[in-house]
Amino acid sequence: MATEATKIVWNEREKRFETEDKKAYLQYQLRNDGKVMDIIHTFVPSSKRGLGLASHLSVAAFNHAQSNSISVIPTCSYISDTFVPRNPAWKSVLYSEDLKSSI
């Protein structure tokens, strides 16, 4: 098992955060003129599961959103059901429920 930090790359053209080998990724769509990132899918192949890659991908996406003043919609079930409950500090980056109807 690798002990070195996993490098996550932002692939802006494909709207993904991905591992360098592109096998694990987090897919998103931009809404509201780029002010909202809707995370729609997180994928980690079975050969790479159990290494925390989904969490690393999520942290990269949330860090990017936070540093660029972008709100996040957690459409992906991993983000809404696992990542945010395990990392409640990221709730401040989530898109306000009150504003969803205006998208």
- Report angle CA 2, 61, 14 to the nearest 5 degrees: 95
Pairing mode, if any, of strands 25-31 and 8-11? Answer: unpaired
Which residue is catalytic, options 60, 76, 79, 84?
76
- Answer for the pair 80, 72: CB distance below 8 angstroms, yes or no: no
Active-site residue 76, yes or no? Answer: yes
Structure tokens at 98: 């009150």
Count of Cβ atoms closer than 10 Å to residue 47 Cβ = 9
Q: Which residues are catalytic?
A: 76
